[in-house]
Amino acid sequence: MADFSGRFIAQWSEVATQNTNVAATATKAGVANQRHFITGYSVSCSAAPAAAVSTTVTSAATTVERVELPAAAFSPIVVNLSAPIRCGIGEAAAITCPAVGGTTRSSVALRGFTTYE
């Protein structure tokens, strides 16, 4: 697919699920001369986290979005951005949910597209 300026665009999604008390990180690796745009993300847990935790969406090492997960049962959080988050050229895009405690598992997903600059 190409945009109006003729640059090639590739859509993608990255998903990760953690097992017991381990961080879950889904990453779209950075590639030279390519720019990722994040269009949405989601996070869910198999049970209530042991304590409140912060899930972060990053471009390289910069946090571009943060979601607080409560220390209580919750429905999956799904965010579809009305305007995509633009990452730097060659930078990785990622979402990370830290360990949520006990035997609780978490899943994260990151969606977006990449342009070839």
Q: What is the pLDDT of residues 35-89, one digit of tens each?
A: 999 999 999 998 889 899 999 999 999 999 999 998 888 889 999 999 999 999 9
Q: How, if at all, do strands 77-86 and 62-69 pair?
A: unpaired
| 62: β partners | 59
Place of tokens 């990785």: 92
Global confidence as pTM: 0.89
Domain ranges in the chain?
12-111
Q: From start to end of 1-117, where are the E strands? A: 9-17, 24-28, 34-45, 53-59, 62-69, 77-86, 93-97, 106-116
Q: What is the pLDDT of residues 86-113, one digit of tens each?
A: 999 999 999 999 999 888 889 999 999 9
User: Would you give the DSSP letter of residue 5?
Assistant: T
> Percentage of the chain with pLDDT > 90?
70
Q: What is the CATH number of domain 12-111?
A: 2.60.120.40
